[in-house]
Structure 1
Amino acid sequence: MAAISRSGEVVVFFTGGTIGMSPAPGVPGVAPGGNFDRLLNELAPQPDGISLRPVLWSDKPSPHMTPEDMFRLAKDIQTAVDEKNVLGAVVLHGTDVLVESAFMADLTVQSPKPVLLTGSMRYYSESGYDGLRNLINAVRAVLLPLPAGTGVCVLMTDRIFAAREAVKVNSLNVDAFESREAGVIGYVAGESVVLAGCPLSSEPGLKLCADRIEPNVPLLTSYTGMDSSMIDFALQNGAKGLVIEGFGAGNVPPRAVSGIERCIRAGIPVVLATRCIEGGVWPIYGYPGGGADLMNKGVINCGRLGGPKARLQLMLALGMTGDIREIRNLFE
């Protein structure tokens, strides 16, 4: 599908990541290299009436991004797309936590204009560098534009994923991203962006109108033989919410249950996710620590969200309200 003939700006945020890294003298491996301007200069001229507005937001490796950074980035994206002349936004980001920043923006940015996050698995001067192609295709997708209701998207390796569904599944391969069972929104074919599927609704998905986030929300992953010690540690250190990744459909070892119960009695929302990439949380098992047992005790089911995204959603929810019933409604 070709881009619609119109005029305006595409705002390109650079946050850092492998897409801008190069080998650095005296440093093993690669590091931030200040290559944003060089990358933009390699882009072909845009169609008549279209211009790119570069924003050097930061030059951080992806693991250095904090939830507070992600929230601030989402607010800056909102400010940009609120401008009448802006058609949409592209965010260049490190891939390690790219899907988390994308999900934060998906929950926070309220605009029908397209927002796409992209990056690269290979560094700027590496053979087979994928960053330039991903940037070109992200700009093309903004100019398409994507259908209303799509929400914030991730574009990597010629495929467009919904931020809510995207997950990084490979630490090294160029083709490193997949979607949680829902498939892709679109893909790149030659010089065109093709829509492969449409959102279920033209209405926007869940949006959380928070002015702040609650930072003290730990994420714990279940392990065999796990007891309540880490849960109690989080509670004693002032956790305002807790996300636990269980096994399978959302099940935890029995010795962890008492700690979860103490959190619930203290008025701390506990959200249950799963370590599995697909399938989500389902209240199937009623034995001690089973998903049905935990939800009967007051644990919140996060559905098909993975643990990191459930944590971000809980941080935003706690920035809006301390009422566990309201928080439960935002998840369930």
Structure 2
Amino acid sequence: MSNSISARMAQALLACAMLLSSYAEAADKLAHVTILATGGTIAGSGASSTTTVGYTAATVGVNQLIAAVPELAKVADVKGEQVFQIASENMTNQHWLTLAKRVNTLLAQADVDGIVITHGTDTLEETAYFLDLTVKSKKPVVLVGAMRPGTALSADGPINLYNAVLLAASQEAIGKGVLVALNDQIHAAREVTKTNTSTPDSFKTPELGMLGYIQGNKPYFYRASTRKNTADTEFDVSKLDSLPQVDIVYGYANVNPVALNALVAAGARGIIHAGVGDGSLAAPVKTALIAARKQGVLIVRSSRVGQGIIARNGEANDDELDFVASDTLNPQKARILLTLALTRTTDSKEIQRMFYTY
């Protein structure tokens, strides 16, 4: 009898050992994803469960964000790091440099397979595009945010974070450039934009369309951006401590050159003109832009419309004026590309090439 009991105990111990081994093996197979938290609505809180506007952003730390979504442990080995704790309207060039350097440091490590960055939605598309041009790895980098604070009914932050980690841990996301994941959708950093002040479906890619969906714990890609990104770009911020000043001037009826002249006087090295229509230039502003260019300021024609290509030599003779056309980049993203371009060259023809490359 004792031999029989001993045999059963041995079998039970062996079964437990095999089970533990299988758990360990499963854990080893999980991708290692680091969540870099920067604040924003996804880390915000409101006075009540129905507070979806007028809440306070950037009040919840990264460890609390992770703890609120225990399902993350099923899709990745997750670690968190609080990089900033700000509302994203306060994002600056210095924040971007710090973030890009940290992302590149982490992605160079063998024990990091992907990065998720939690971010406020107001400037999320800008940070995403900056990283799309400065990250030096093909490993997935996914930006995620929320349109409602975590204290609200039907808060979108937890599911968005879960989907972002799942995406960053996936093989499908490798080499796709920096991605944005909200509302069960996958977007390219270059093309996505915020389109609504408050609704959860705010992030869209006008005309060109999103890259795919996240459904049933799996990303589905239907297209990819054709523009160079991440490891294939020529931009290196590893040794930069600052970025050149580039500002945006908005076009409108009855516009005057006061704002433009003030920005040039304040030291702007580049100006994005967010013109009406196809980047049209009102006469008084055109004169001021020509004068600024003669002073060495780089001028890029963009549009406030938000969709379409800016035709070079269309609404202005760019060749004659030595201006640059922004292609399909909206003003805020054109500013980012011109800022990085100016760390490489002041040749307008080279910068135009960059706008058609990235």
Q: TM-score, normalised by structure 1?
A: 0.89
Question: 1: CA distance between counterparts of 2:229 and 2:181?
Answer: 21
Q: Confirm whether residue 70 of structure 1 aligns to residue 91 of structure 2.
A: no
Deviates more, 1:89-98 or 1:36-45: 36-45
- How many Å separate the matches in 1 of 2:128 and 2:224? 19
Alpha-carbon shift at residue 7 of structure 1 (Å) = 4.1
Letter in 2 for 1:83: Q
| Secondary structure of 1:187 counterpart | strand
- CA shift at 1:99, angstroms? 0.4
Deviations 1:294-322 (A, max 9, x none): 44311101100010111111111212333
Q: How big is the shift at 1:14?
A: 0.5
Which among 240, 263, 284 is matched to residue 234 of structure 1?
263
Stretch of structure 1 that moved more, 11-20 or 322-331: 322-331
1:183 correspondence with 2:206: no
| Distance (Å, rounded) in 1 between the aligned partners of 2:203 and 2:349 | 34
Once the two structures are overlaid, the 10-residue window that deviates more, 192-201 or 267-276, is 192-201
Using a 3 Å threshold, how does the CA distance of structure 1 residues 158 and 283 change in structure 2: closer, same or farther?
same
Determine the structure 2 residue equivalent to 1:306.
330
Contact 1:35 1:124 in 2 (8 A): no
Instruction: Indicate conservation of the 8 Å contact 1:214/1:240, yes or no.
Output: no
The two structures, once aligned, show a CA RMSD in angstroms of 2.2
Query: Among residues 38, 49, 58, which one is paired with 1:15 in the alignment?
Result: 38
Say if 1:302 and 1:331, in contact at 8 Å, map to a contact too: yes
Q: Deviations over 1:139-173 (max 9, x none)?
A: 11112223554100111100000000000000110
Structure 2: runs of 5 or more not aligned: 1-27, 49-53
2:275 maps to which of 231, 243, 246: 246
How many residues are treated as equivalent by the alignment?
320
**Superposed CA offset, 1:73-113 (max 9, x none):** 11211111111111110000000000000001000001110
Quick one: structure 1 residues 265 and 168, their matched pair in 2 at CA, closer, same or farther if it must change by over 3 Å?
same
Structure with higher Rg: it is 2
Find the aligned partners of 1:318 and 1:197 in 2 and give their Cα distance.
31
Q: Is the 8 A contact 2:38 2:84 kept in 1?
A: yes
Which residue matches 1:275? Answer: 304
Shift of 1:182: 1.8
Greater mean deviation of Cα atoms: 146-155 or 76-85: 146-155
Q: Which residue of 1 aligns with 2:159?
A: 133
Assess if the C-alpha contact under 8 Å between 1:67 and 1:312 holds in 2.
Answer: no
Contact 2:323 2:348 survives alignment (8 Å): no
Contact 1:149 1:201 in 2 (8 A): no
Matches within 5 A, 1:1-332: 6-23=29-46, 29-43=55-69, 44=71, 46-47=73-74, 50-200=76-226, 206-210=233-237, 211-212=239-240, 213-283=242-312, 285=314, 290-291=315-316, 293-332=317-356
In 1, Cα distance between the equivalents of 2:227 and 2:292? 36
Alpha-carbon contact 2:37-2:62 (below 8 Å) kept: yes
1:273-311 C-alpha deviation (Å, 9 max, x unpaired): 1111210211364xxxx23x2443111011000101111
> Contact (CA 8 Å) 2:192, 2:204: kept in 1 or not?
yes
- Share of identical aligned residues, percent? 28
Report the Cα offset of residue 242 of structure 1: 0.9
Moved more, 7-16 or 169-178: 7-16
* Paired amino acid for 1:311: R
Normalising by structure 2, report the TM-score. Answer: 0.83
Following superposition, the deviation at residue 252 of structure 1 comes to: 1.6
Match of 1:59, SS state, is: strand
Contact 2:121-2:147 at 8 Å conserved across structures: yes
CA distance in 2, matches of 1:195, 1:177: 17
Greater mean deviation of Cα atoms: 94-103 or 140-149: 140-149
Q: Is contact 2:140–2:177 with CA below 8 Å preserved after alignment? A: yes
Structure 1 residues 228 and 170: CA distance shift in structure 2, 3 A: same
User: How far did 1:238 drift?
Assistant: 1.7
Q: What is the alpha-carbon distance in structure 2 between the residues aligned to residue 9 and residue 194 of structure 1?
A: 21
Give 3-state SS (helix, strand or coil) of 1:261's partner. Answer: helix
Task: Give the counterpart letter for 1:18 in structure 2.
Answer: T
- Range 274-283 or range 104-113, more displaced: 274-283
Flag structure 1 segments of 5+ consecutive residues without an equivalent: none
The aligned amino acid for 2:73 is Q
The amino acid across from 1:112 in the alignment is: K
State the secondary structure of the residue aligned to 1:58: strand
Secondary structure of the structure 1 residue equivalent to 2:190? coil
